[in-house]
Structure 1
Amino acid sequence: MYSSLLLHGKKCIELHKSSTFRVISVKLLQKEYPFRNPFSSSASTLQSDSVLNLLTSYGFTSTQISKIITTYPRLLTLDAKTSLLPKLQALQSRGASTSDLTEIISKVPKILSKRGVKSTGLYFDFIKDIIHNDGKSSHSSTTTGKQGNKMRNVSVLRDMGVPQRFLFTLLVSESQPVCGKEKFEMSVKKVVEMGFDPATSKFVQALHVFYEMSERTIEEKVNVYNKLGFRVEEVWEMFNKWPYYLKFSEKKITQTFETLKRCGLGDEEVVAVMKKRPECMRASEEKIRSCVETFLGLGFSGKEFVSMVKCFPTCVGLSAENVRRKVEFLVGEMKWELKDVVGIPPVLGYSLEKRMVPRCGVVRALVEKGVMSGRGGGGYGGIPPMSSVLACSDKVFLNRFVMKHGRLVPELMAIFDGDKKKGSQGRTAIKNVKGLCVSVS
């Protein structure tokens, strides 16, 4: 029997099995039977129950099942009896031990989506060799066709130092970067020449861009940025920071540029913001506008918003709820002022539960004990400036506010560690799976 679980999860997972499915809302329900869903009359729920029970019968732990479903939620839409069972049986008949079976599928669950038992077996053996034999595999040399190309190319990337987590994603992906031979080699050459580190995700992102986009298309994108005021060398500097930004359409690029201008930034300021954080290209026009409304609604002036965006461009991608909760805590509860947030806007990127609450709990305890009364800035009872509390590493914070207080150290550490643990409970990855609530249109 599994341990008790959180009653409600917040993760929503999109499914695309058919037009019937839109969203799976994963909700952890505390029931006697580990995979029993209270909405058992739903055919889709019965199907997901069958998949979960099948995995359990093959020795997968609840933690492994949680990882599989989180990584590849579409697995729940596959037919347990006709699609998954034959593949699991075939892998066992090939000599796969329970530990190998559960470990490999937990790492790369998408191999169960491959058509045919033979294809699944080839990928399984290849992945097993990479995991257990220091990455050396003979399958790429003996397997032909598309599968052989992918295995050979993945082996090349492994020898270059690309981590397993990226290799396996590329291997089972439907995208093309590890297919073919000449184009793959040319793409890898370009990525290497630009100096990307194979051990980083940016290497893989750059590989995607060069493989999927022709030289002409890339040149056209560079020209779009050039017309907006970016120098060519600045375009490539941005590429080194976040390669995917070059994949956006001309319409999206110009739209984002104009939206930021309507927020109050000048041409040069928009260029500076996008150079600093090209990731802000991901934010839609609607999200940027919503962001502006949120900040203004919280009391920030338009000028202050522009100042924060220039310093911390990522703030345009934060959700309204995220910003609201943090500002309400910092200003409403801790009594710092809005101008303090304007002074160090990166604070809005810090975790409320893991950073803000534990640290503020410590300084509030010091204030309540009279240790810091009347000192420092204008926050809660005279606590120090926001920057000295939040804009430093844990080590610096502990040395500054905990270790110097002698007999209070154990109590302060309990507050610091205790609040961190409390805050992380709601976001901890699902460790057991007991129930799944499937929403269908």
Structure 2
Amino acid sequence: MFSSLSKTLLRRPLFLPTTTLRLISTATSTSTSTSNPPSFAVSYLVNSCGLSPESALYVSNRVAFETSARPEAAIKVFKSYGFSQSQISRIIGRGPRLLVASPEKTLLPKLKYLCSVGFSGSDLANLITGSPHLLTRSLEKHLIPNFGRLRDFLRSDQNAVAAIRRSPRILVKGFEATVDPFVKVLRDNGVRESSIVWLVQCHSRRMINWYDRLKEIVEKTKRMGFDDPSAAKFAVAMLAVMGMSESVWERKFDAYSRWGWCRDDALSAFVKCPRCMMISEEKIMAVMGFYVNEMGFESSYLLQHPRLISMSLEKRIRPRCLVFKQLSSHGLMKKKICFTTLLTISDEAFLVKFVTPHIGEAPELLDIYREKKHMGTGALVP
């Protein structure tokens, strides 16, 4: 029996495999760490800053503090600028170094500068919450010169703030790294300067994201019938080409085909008014249905005037068309009007031309117009 036992022991390894030892070591260390009380930093981050235990551990591994003095000083600065507790928690989670940053040297100078150029209230809080690393960049070497370049390009602080609000990356990464490259492509391809300024102000995020394919987008837009990049509508058409997959294009062609348009008709309308292909299929059906079924338009008329399709059904088309119907029913339309004029003039001009002069004979006009516009304010379709 002893001999058999000895042979068995000899056949088995005297040492456990490395993998097994590693697993045991990991389990032991985990067990030990979970049994130890959390550090002051972790407890403070969970109890006073609202972080989850996982986030608190992440932050505590990146910044060291043994008292609450430094963190509370930073938090006090954020609160003084109107940041909510949840926003402060997100900032700490995404930018741990800011929790121990010097209020006087790091936080306050940059927050004051951003306020001075036009960021305030919720705009400032949203900017920093979404991009907390802005506050780690140099004020003199990064923030001021990059905001200045954007301001000079867009010609005002207000326009620069609007652009950064839509794409904070411009200020985080810098003008040269984000805006310069796609502006060069657009200029090299003959896109008009006013359109480039508009794209920088309103659509920088998309232009930056699509930079690698921008030349391809420009060429595809030209092939779809926009052979003059200097035309104002070229930039809008480019956004449409950029933003829709082939399957989405097909769905919109199909929507228009239900109203008698062939594919070439839809492309012709797109060349006249790019926005008519940028609306949803649901809106195409709703707007075309209103014009054809309720107003008696021929779909061929809309093919000649596709701009009428891209307008808001609830905020503009329906209120103005109902006023027109009311005027007609009272015999107040003395002369034929152009529907493009009826629907494209400003709200103020519409009231002066079609409502105010007829209040005596049709006092309900103003109520109809205001009621329908008010109902349209909460519409899902823009």
TM-score where L is the length of structure 1: 0.55
Deviation, 1:146, is 8.5
Shift in Å, 1:84:
12
Q: Matches of residues 3-22 of structure 1 in structure 2 within 5 Å?
A: none
Partner of 1:360: 321
> 1:163 offset after TM fit, Å?
4.3
Residue 268 of structure 1 aligns to a residue whose secondary structure is coil
1:239 aligns with 2:195: no
Q: 1:212 to 1:361 in 2, by over 3 A?
A: same
Cross-structure match for 1:184: 143
The whole-number CA distance in structure 1 between the counterparts of 2:355 and 2:266 is 34
Aligned Cα RMSD in Å?
4.4
Q: Which residue number in structure 1 is paired with residue 283 of structure 2?
A: 322
In structure 2, the residue matched to 1:387 is 340
Q: Does 1:283 align with 2:223?
A: no
Q: Could you say if the C-alpha distance between residues 124 and 213 of structure 1 is closer, same or farther in structure 2, counting changes exceeding 3 Å?
A: closer
In the other structure, the counterpart of 1:197 is: 156
Say whether residues 1:174 and 2:131 are aligned partners: yes
Contact 1:150 1:171 in 2 (8 A): no
Q: What stretches of structure 2 of length at least 5 have no aligned partner?
A: 1-42, 51-57, 61-67, 85-97
Distance change >3 Å, CA 177–CA 314, structure 1 → 2: farther
Q: Does 1:230 align with 2:190?
A: yes
Deviations 1:72-101 (A, max 9, x none): xxxxxxxxxx99995599xxxxxxxxxxxx
Provide the rounded CA distance (Å) in 2 between the counterparts of 1:332 and 1:261: 35
Contact 2:220–2:241 under 8 Å retained in 1? no
Q: Rg: which structure is higher? A: 2
Secondary structure of the structure 2 residue equivalent to 1:402: helix
Shift of the alpha carbon at 1:205?
4.7
Q: Distance in 1 between matches of 2:194 and 2:376?
A: 40
1:127 corresponding residue in structure 2: 81
Separation in structure 1 between the aligned mates of residue 102 and residue 258 of structure 2, nearest angstrom: 55
Judging changes above 3 Å, is the alpha-carbon distance between structure 1 residues 310 and 197 closer, same or farther for their aligned structure 2 residues?
Answer: farther
Aligned counterparts of 1:350 and 1:232: Cα–Cα separation in 2: 25
Which of 95, 105, 114 pairs up with 1:157? 114
Q: Distance in 1 between matches of 2:367 and 2:175?
A: 57
Amino acid across the alignment from 1:197: S
2:209 aligns with one of 237, 245, 248: 248
Q: How far apart in 2 are the matches of 1:293 and 1:385?
A: 29
- Structure 1, gaps ≥5 residues long: 1-81, 90-113, 131-141, 377-383, 429-441
Task: Report percent identity of matched pairs.
Answer: 18
Q: Which has the higher contact order (CA 8 A, sep 6+)?
A: 1
Distance 1:223 1:406, change over 3 A: closer
Q: Please give the alpha-carbon distance, in whole angstroms, between the structure 1 residues aligned to 2:45 and 2:327.
A: 58
Name the TM-score, length of structure 2 as normaliser. 0.62
Q: Which residue of 2 aligns with 1:421?
A: 374
- Which residues in structure 2 correspond to 1:396-411 (within 5 Å)? 396-411=349-364
Between the aligned partners of 1:124 and 1:197, the Cα distance in structure 2 is 27
Query: Within 2, Cα distance between the matches of 1:143 and 1:84?
Result: 10
Aligned pairs, number = 303
Give me the whole-angstrom Cα distance separating, in 1, the residues matched to 2:379 and 2:181.
45
**2:228 and 2:234 in contact (8 A); partners too:** no
Instruction: Provide Cα deviations, 1:334-360, integer angstroms capped at 9, x if missing partner.
Output: 112334434443333322112122111
Structure 1 segment 263-282 matched on structure 2, within 5 A? 264-268=224-228, 273-275=233-235, 279-280=239-240
* 3-state DSSP of counterpart to 2:158: coil
The farther-off stretch of 239-248 and 404-413 is 239-248
Q: Is 1:359–1:416's contact at 8 Å kept on the other side of the alignment? A: yes
* Amino acid in structure 2 at the alignment position of 1:122: K
Aligned position for 1:136: none
